[in-house]
Amino acid sequence: MKKTLFGLFATLWLLWQCIAYTPDTETKEEISNLKVQITTLSEDDNRTLFDLYEQARDILQYIKDEKTSYVITQIRDYALSKYNTRKDAAKAESLTLKESMLNTWQNSWLNQAEEFSENCYWRYNTLDNLSYAYDFPTALTIAVRYRESSCWYYLPKNWDWPFQIVNKDYWNWEITKEIFEQTIKDFLEFSWNKINRYNWKNPDTPIRLWYKYFTYEDLYKFAWLYNWLSWWTVYWDIWPANPKYFLEKMPWEYENWKKNGLFLQFLKAIEREIKQ
């Protein structure tokens, strides 16, 4: 039986070798030049690099020509590899900050908080890739998604899922991978628009949040800005409009609420990231 299977696989391998596209010297040189251009164009622009990967990934399903398919596959893999290398380096640089924040806030009430739902970690790579492309803390993307939709993968009747952006309707379309990715991009763009507008109006008290940097104070201000206040009406330091949104399950008057607040869920998310 083993000999029969080995012979079958050997035959299939030989057949594949015969029909697989083999690039010539000119094609290899063309791909090499494209890689140089990609490196140059995306030197300080991770979003452009990831957009290129996505475009190559998505267009491949429509390409029938073997040479074109081969070239685009090479570009897709190169862009993704370069992107992952940058992201892994940034993730490693942020590890100490994540551990420090977790240690600062790690105590009995954090352990008694609502457990981190694995729903929130499902499709983590998608959430992480897009958060890095937009230079936004992945744990915050996850925490907002939890607060707004409990990380469920569906489109509810109010059409604002999963980040409850009230000026962005997704109608009653069936949730798909493409729509899910688009909702994340919409959230990240919406958040940065609010942050940038606030920072422009308040240069002395800016919100500083990036993929590998965050503080309690900036998370606090972002929560008020995102959950309640319009960027057109926010000036100076932000004061609580809905404290429970950020502080739920924290000590004091918010301790006995049932659902983790944004900050607690952020801590749970970075705890999960450190353990992975």
pLDDT tens string 10-49: 443 444 444 567 888 998 999 999 999 999 988 889 999 9
Please tell me whether the peptide bond between 156 and the residue prior to it is cis, using omega within 30 degrees of 0: no
Using CA atoms, how far residue 118 sits from 136, 137, 161, 258, in Å, is: 21, 18, 18, 18
Please give the pLDDT value at position 121: 87
Q: Quick check: 5 pLDDT over 80?
A: no
* CA gap 147, 238 in Å, rounded: 20
Q: Quick check: 115 pLDDT over 90?
A: no
Q: How confident is the model at residue 172 (pLDDT cuts 50, 70, 90)?
A: low
Interval 63-103: pLDDT, tens: 888 888 999 999 999 999 999 999 999 999 999 999 999 98
Tokens of 264: 């607690």
| Helix ranges restricted to H, the chain | 2-19, 25-41, 46-59, 66-105, 108-111, 124-133, 138-149, 177-201, 216-227, 243-247, 262-275
Q: How confident is the model at residue 251 (pLDDT cuts 50, 70, 90)?
A: confident
* Mean of per-residue pLDDT scores for the chain: 82
Please give the pLDDT value at position 173: 64
The tally of CA atoms less than 13 A away on the side-chain side of residue 223 is: 28
Which residues does 177 contact at the CB level (< 8 Å), separation at least 6? none
Please give the pLDDT value at position 215: 95
* CA gap 117, 6 in Å, rounded: 44
Bridge partners of residue 210, in order along the sequence = 213
Q: Quick check: 130 pLDDT over 80?
A: yes
Please give the pLDDT value at position 228: 66
| Mean pLDDT along residues 197-221 | 91
Which residues does 17 contact at the CB level (< 8 Å), separation at least 6? none
